């Protein structure tokens, strides 16, 4: 079977590898239908010094597929059923796992496609407990965007930041994969959405998604524009995933008691904080990593109800390297999906 494999930093190859054996007890075998790309794929592609891993490694951290076989004892799935897969090898028995806080697993065996072989291959076996059914009417292309993009936003906005209807939110990088989702989810509950983009060509797109105000951060300071839009009151929530370039400015645009939730640091991992500002303004800062399987199911339900991901491009396995370079350039609007 074909598998997209990283053999060295920035060197991807489609290789032939043996198919998996029949699924063992408690496992299902899945034929992958689509893989969605994320910044974690970019990080893995260009190499990260702090990650211990062995190359070659099959890439792909977010995917959908169809069940083709089930092992003994599997009761939740049958051949022909469309599914998505959880991207972390959680243990399933620690306190966090038993409480449904999958992304807090105390014995996680690695992130799929980053530490261990990923989803960008034709067939794979997965434990039944790490597989989530796709509702009727949701395509494999769209479902592939649920395990990371949609569920990460679901977890950030509603589990952590506790976004409420009628609040005002600043969404950074509104044209990114998770930025587009954050705009849609916030607008769906009646929030006022301010968003930033790095190119005027993205303005119309984010407005169609529901953004009320759009700031080109390359031509205007988002801090100044956001304060002006809110009449100096500030925003209730900042959806942060850019990192060092925007973090301190994000604190400046929050109202007293505002909440900042962050899941990324694409512009750099280090920032300084004015501690007096932090405690005097009573800010609440939430670090958010990944999501739970419940978040993925909630995301798929939103897709079934009509909230579909924005797809920038669809590419073949052979074109993934160029797609990752496109992501690095920040020219993407929405998600890139790899076809199988």
Q: What is the pLDDT along the chain (340 residues), one digit of tens a residue?
A: 999 999 988 889 999 999 999 999 999 999 999 999 998 888 888 776 556 678 899 999 999 999 999 999 999 999 999 999 999 999 999 999 999 999 999 999 999 998 899 999 999 999 999 999 999 999 999 999 999 999 999 999 999 999 999 999 999 999 999 999 999 999 999 999 999 999 999 999 999 999 999 999 999 999 999 999 999 999 999 999 999 999 999 999 999 999 999 999 989 889 999 999 999 999 999 999 999 999 999 999 999 999 999 999 999 998 998 898 888 888 899 999 999 8
DSSP 8-state class, residue 116: B
Distances (CA, A) of 272 to 9, 178, 237, 290: 31, 25, 20, 24
Q: Does residue 2 sit in helix, strand or coil?
A: strand
Say what the pTM is.
0.95
Phi and psi of 182, rounded to 5°? -60, -40
- pLDDT score of 48: 63
Task: Spell out the residues 6+ positions from residue 39 whose beta carbon is closer than 8 angstroms to its own.
Answer: 264, 266, 327
d(CA 123, CA 117): 12
Angle at 120 between CA 118 and CA 125, to 5 degrees: 60
| Bridging pattern class, strands 63-70 and 82-85 | antiparallel
d(CA 114, CA 284): 31
Sign, Cα dihedral of 116, 63, 289, 132: negative
The string of DSSP codes covering 137-191 is T--HHHHTTIIIIIHHHHIIIIIIS---TT-EEEESSTTSHHHHHHHHHHHHTT-
- pLDDT score of 50: 53
């Amino acid at each position: 079977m074909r598998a997209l494999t990283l053999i060295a930093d920035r060197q991807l190859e489609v290789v032939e590898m043996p198919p998996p054996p029949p699924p063992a007890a408690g496992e299902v075998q899945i034929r992958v239908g689509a893989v969605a790309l994320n910044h974690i794929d970019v990080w893995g592609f260009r190499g990260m010094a702090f990650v211990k891993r062995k190359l070659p490694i099959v890439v792909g951290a977010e995917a959908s597929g169809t069940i083709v076989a089930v092992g003994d004892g599997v009761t939740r799935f049958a051949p022909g059923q469309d599914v998505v897969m959880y991207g972390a090898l959680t243990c399933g028995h620690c306190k966090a796992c038993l409480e449904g806080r999958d992304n807090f697993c105390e014995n996680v065996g690695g992130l799929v496609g980053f530490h261990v072989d990923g989803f960008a291959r034709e067939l794979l076996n997965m434990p039944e407990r790490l597989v989530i059914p796709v509702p009727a009417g949701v395509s494999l292309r769209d479902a592939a965007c649920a395990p990371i993009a949609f569920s990460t936003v679901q977890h950030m906005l509603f589990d952590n930041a506790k976004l409420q209807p009628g609040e005002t939110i600043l969404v950074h990088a509104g044209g990114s994969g998770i930025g587009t989702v954050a705009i849609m989810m916030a607008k769906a509950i009646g929030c006022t959405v301010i968003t930033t983009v790095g190119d005027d060509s993205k303005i119309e797109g984010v407005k169609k998604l529901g953004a009320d105000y759009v700031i080109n951060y390359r031509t205007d300071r988002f801090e100044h524009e956001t304060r002006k839009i809110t009449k100096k009151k500030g925003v209730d929530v900042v959806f942060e995933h850019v990192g060092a370039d925007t973090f301190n400015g994000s604190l400046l645009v929050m109202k007293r008691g505002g909440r900042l939730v962050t899941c990324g640091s694409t512009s750099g991992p280090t920032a300084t904080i004015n501690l007096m500002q932090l405690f005097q303004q009573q800010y609440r800062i939430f670090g958010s990593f990944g999501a739970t399987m419940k978040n993925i199911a909630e995301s798929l339900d939103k897709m079934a109800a009509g909230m579909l991901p924005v797809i920038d491009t669809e590419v073949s396995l052979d074109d993934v390297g160029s797609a990752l370079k496109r992501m690095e350039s920040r020219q993407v609007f929405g998600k890139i999906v790899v076809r199988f």
